[in-house]
Amino acid sequence: MATTQETQRSEPATAEGKAELDVFRYIPEEDDEPHTETYEIETFEGMTVLDALIKIRDEQDSSLTVRHSCRMARCGSDAVYINGTQRLACNTQVSELSQPIDVEPLPRFDVIRDLVVEMNEFYDRMESVEPWFQPDHEPETGEEYLQSPENRKNIDTVLDCIWCGACTSSCSPAATDSDFPGPAALAKAYRFYKDEREGEETRKRRLEMLESSHGIYRCHTQFNCTEVCPKGISPTEAIMEMSRDAVKEKLRFWR
């Protein structure tokens, strides 16, 4: 029984054995320039890249710094650049990667130390779309802000965002245009834009706020954000829907 299950999951041969990791290292107090260090570790079945990094830190080099917390793809603090793609270290199996595994901090963010990047810029972008609930009218006293299940369906996926920054790191217009909120922030804006409890006024205002050539119209449909999102969100789709609505709003006869 156990063997059939094993084959069904088609565990690669490297499930247990050795793995080689090329890790980006930069300690501002010691290094002028970043460099790459190679570590070899013993792997175990189900080992994630985060496990591997922690193992390196525990057993080989205690100065290696990586930000992490939940280890279950929930907090979004350990997005790194693994083998040329933005991924969550805790959500990536060592066994499914080609060796040596290249681990770098998120591209286009400033590096504070090793794999830890400065996220303030990202949080500023998130804040620029006012990601908080702003209803037109307060409900009658004692009532709750009730959302209809149908309306909730629209934002099911975008609500899963964990602010890891992978998508914004993968988006080239976000990198070259600092006024562009980037995919994560625009998906967040979509979450409120679609929430009918906010009312028509706020919806209009939100759309106007985003409508600029450095806003929703800056998206080039590269789909990088959709590809890298560990939560399966498609910011591209959200942005396209908002820009479509914004233009529709202009062409009233179209509706």
Partner 1 sequence: MSTQKPSKTAGWNWFLQRVTGVGLVVLLGFHFAVEHFIVGAANVTAGNTVERITNGLIQGDHVLGQITINMPAFLYQATAISLLGFSVFHGMYGVYNVLMEQDTLRAYEKPIKYFFIVFSAALFVQGILIFLAFFEPFWQVYDPR
Partner 2 sequence: MSQDRRVDSYDRGRIEDVGRWKDWAKHKPGMWAFYLHRFTGLVLSFYLVMHLTVLGTGFWLGHTEYTEIIHGLESLFIVKLLEVGLFAAFVFHALNGVRIVMFDMTIGLDVQEQLFYLSIALSFAVVMVGVPFFLL
Tell me which residues touch partner 1 (CB under 8 A): 124-125, 127-128, 173, 176-179, 181, 208-215, 217-218, 243, 246-247, 250-251
> Is the Cα dihedral 218, 86, 90, 120 positive or negative?
negative
Of residues 77 and 236, the one with the C-beta less far from ligand FES: 77
Does 75 contact ligand FES by CB under 6 A? yes
Binder among 54, 57, 65, 68 for ligand FES (CB under 6 A): 68
Cis peptide upstream of residue 12 (ω within 30 degrees of 0): no
Shortest spacing between CB 71 and ligand FES, in angstroms: 5
Stretch that binds partner 2, among 90-98, 154-162, 201-209, 234-242 (CB under 8 A): 234-242
Q: Kindly tell me the sign of the dihedral angle through the C-alpha atoms of 175, 180, 184, 185.
A: positive
Q: Is 78 in the site for ligand FES (CB under 6 A)?
A: yes
Contact 93, 45 (CB under 8 A): no
215 binds, among partner 1, ligand FES, partner 2, none (CB under 5 to 8 A by kind): partner 1
Tell me the per-residue interface mask from 19 to 58 with partner 2, x by CB under 8 A, - otherwise: -------x-x-----x------------------------
# residues contacting ligand FES (CB under 6 A): 12
CB 111 within 8 A of CB 105: yes
CB closer to partner 1, 189 vs 233: 189
Give whichever of 152 and 214 is closer to partner 1, judged by the CB atom.
Answer: 214
Task: Identify residue 239 by its one-letter amino acid code.
Answer: I
Question: Among ligand FES, partner 1, partner 2, none, what does residue 90 contact (CB within 5–8 Å per kind)?
Answer: ligand FES
Piece of 35-43, 73-81, 153-161, 204-212 that binds ligand FES (CB under 6 A):
73-81
Q: Is residue 176 a contact point for partner 2 (CB under 8 A)?
A: yes
Nearer to ligand FES among residue 94 and residue 216 (C-beta): 94
Q: Which is nearer to partner 2, 84 or 142 (CB)?
A: 84
What are the tokens at 155? 């934002």
Cα dist from 200 to 10, 114, 192, 196, 207, whole Å? 52, 46, 12, 8, 11
| Residue 190 · residue 238 · CB < 8 Å | yes
List interacting residues with ligand FES (CB under 6 A). 68-71, 73-78, 88, 90
